[in-house]
Amino acid sequence: MKIKINPMKKYYKILSLAILIAVTALQSCTKEDSVFDSDNQGGIIELANLPSRTTSTVYSIKNNSFDAVDAVSFPVTVNYTGAGGAPEDITVTMAIDTAALTKYNTASGTAFTTLPATLYTLPTFTLTIPKGEKTATMDFTLKTASFDFSESYALPIAIKSVSAGTISGNYGTGIFAVVAKNKWDGVYTVTNGTMVDLTASTLTHINNYLSAHNEGNMEYSLTTISATKCVLYDDYFFGGYYSAISSGTSYSNYGSFCAILEFDAATNKVIGVTNYYGQPVASNTRSGRLDPTGINTYNPATKVIEVKYNMLQPSVVAASPYVRTTWTETLTYKGARP
């Protein structure tokens, strides 16, 4: 992701870094080191590879995304932090903790749903960290092709008991978000793009601003929201659900407008465009529409999308079909979305 093209975004990153440094000076992260003598008292047992959290965070959360397939492996590892490895075989009993996910949702304002047991298999929730070793892993098999794309799934996993050592107070429970990606999901470069706003000729495609500053072309993360739909998430310029545009010699975006593309897997056609914020948005009457005069196709061999779409705004354009702005874009696949 580039940040130098956007002075506002760069400023926020610098400000955030300054705040982070200040906070770090006052409050250390809660990631635990080996605080016990493993030869005498045993070490701490924790969920491995979770992001660091502070005392103000209920649980650490790790985001994981997978292709939508019949079966995909998802390993979850526990770690023994004592020096020299486990002093004996340690039995670790794990569990899905739905109460922890409810607590996390309440504290964070999220709406994760515990992944139903019908959408994964797991041989056992009981692990053994062998003597002298530091880790043990349980392997989920996720049935991502059967995920309900309208749901935000997560596996809230907790260490419930250990035969030796101490369960981590900070990383004994973790939230593992698990997202399935449809086949159009990924990072795309707008290798060719035009935009016409019928109400303001100074508003044009964001590529014009980028090229004027020698910053290449716009990128979008096509982010799965259903089995056949992806939202054009801006993870490149502003960072969010925005439609970045050139405004004269500067830049801007349309408030409360972000396109969702709908595909037909059988025909490789783009068959619909809607507005992520609503159809229409009550406050500004903006909605999305596929322009039928466009090519509107997806090439599965090259992973290139050619699409033409409109932003409708009847509060500004009085004549039906109320088209204010038209984009014509070629989206070329760059790579998998993190």
Give the closest residue to 273 by CA, choosing from 325, 320, 235.
Answer: 325
Domain architecture of the chain: domains with CATH: 33-180 (2.60.40.1740), 183-335 (2.40.128)
Give the closest residue to 226 by CA, choosing from 336, 147, 338.
Answer: 147
Tally of helices (H runs) and strands (E runs) in the chain: 3, 23
87-136 per-position pLDDT tens digit: 999 999 999 999 999 999 999 888 999 999 999 999 999 999 999 999 99
Cβ-based neighbours of 242, under 8 Å, separated by 6 or more: 234, 253, 254, 258
Tell whether the model's pLDDT for residue 199 goes beyond 80. yes
Structure tokens given for 140: 């989920």
Say if residue 321 is preceded by a cis peptide, omega within 30 of 0: yes
State the pTM of this model: 0.70
Tell whether the model's pLDDT for residue 40 goes beyond 50. no
pLDDT of residue 33: 40
Q: Residues of the chain with pLDDT > 90: what percent?
A: 78
pLDDT of residue 268: 94
Strands 304-312 and 323-335, sheet pairing? antiparallel
pLDDT of residue 134: 96
Q: What is the mean pLDDT of the chain?
A: 88
Structure tokens given for 41: 């008292």
Separation between Cα atoms, residue 159 and residue 62, nearest integer Å: 16
